[in-house]
Amino acid sequence: MGAARWEEEEEEGGERPRSWYVSREEIERDSPSRRDGVGAAKEAELRATYSSFIRDVCIRLQLPQITIATAILLCHRFYLRQSHAKNEWQTVATVCVFLASKIEDTPCLLKHVVIVAYETMYRKNPDAAKRICQEEVLAKQKALILVGETLLLSTIRFDFNIQHPYEPLKLALKDLGISQKEVRQVAMGLINDTLPTTLVVQFKPHYIAAGALFLAAKFCNVILPSQNGKVWWHRGYAANE
C-alpha cells in the first residue's frame, strides 16, 4: 500500500447527509469519482476489487460475515462522498476493515490489520510482502491507516447506524414459517452477492432481504404465503423505513 492522497470533499453546508441511499442515476452521474474523470465501468471495477480485498483480509483475520459486510458498506459510503482519483482504494479498504471490526465489536489490533492487508495486497509478490516486517514500514502504514480513519469518520459523519439484510431475512423466515435450510442458505448467498454492488446503497436492507428471499424461494420451489390478500413482504419486518 502506497501513500494515499487523503482529500475530503465537503458537502454543501457541511451537514450530515440526510440519507445514505441514492439512486442508480445519482451514482452513475454525480459521484465524486465521475467528476474527476473516473468512468462508470472503471468505478464498478474498483468497487468489485476493493470488496474482494476486504473479504479476503477479513477472512484471514477470522472476522465474521457481519464485519465483512460492514467494512464493504463503509467503503461504498466513503466513495459516495470521496473520489477514487484522490484516495487509493487499498488504504481506504484497510481503514474500513479496521473501523468495521470496532463497530461490530470484533476488534482487531491495528498492527494485525495492517500486516494482513499488506500481505494480501502483495500476495503475488512475496518479497514485497516481507517489507511489512520492517519496523519503519509497519510504523508508516499504521500511521497512514490512523490518518485514513479520521477522514473516514469525517466522511460518514460518525454515523454508525449500519444495518444489513441478515436480520430482516431471519425475521421473515421465522414469521413465514419457512424452515428449509436450503432456502435460508440461498437467500443468504444472494444477500452476500449484493455487497460488491451499488444495491446496498440504493435499497434499504429489508428490500434486499425481500428480494433475496423471493428469488431463493423460486429457486427452491417453495411457495411463499400471503395473508388477507397481501403479499408477504408487506408485513411488519419489511415495512419499517
Whether residue 1 is contained in a domain is answered as no
Q: Is residue 199 part of a domain?
A: yes
Does the residue 2 lie in any domain? no
70 vs 164: CA distance, rounded Å:
8
Domain identity same for 139 and 190:
no
Q: Is residue 204 part of a domain?
A: yes
Would residue 7 count as lying in a domain? no
**Is residue 67 a part of any domain in this protein?**
yes
In a domain, 129, yes or no: yes
Domain range enclosing 183: 166-238
Handedness of CA 192, 203, 68, 10 (dihedral sign): positive
For residue range 160-210, what is the model confidence (pLDDT) as tens digits?
Answer: 999 999 999 999 998 888 889 999 999 999 999 999 999 999 999 999 999
pLDDT, residue 62, reads: 98
Give the residue among 170, 163, 63, 148 at the shortest CA–CA distance from 107: 63
Matching residue, cell 441514492: 22
Q: What is the pLDDT of residues 69-105, one digit of tens each?
A: 999 999 999 999 999 999 999 999 999 999 999 999 9
pTM exceeds 0.85, yes or no:
yes
Convert 168-178 to b/e letters by CB count within 10 Å (16 or more is b).
bbebbbeebeb
The total of structural domains in the chain comes to 2
First to last CA, the chain: 39
What is the CATH number for 137? 1.10.472.10
On whether both 191 and 220 belong to a single domain, the answer is yes
Residue 179 and residue 151 share a domain: no
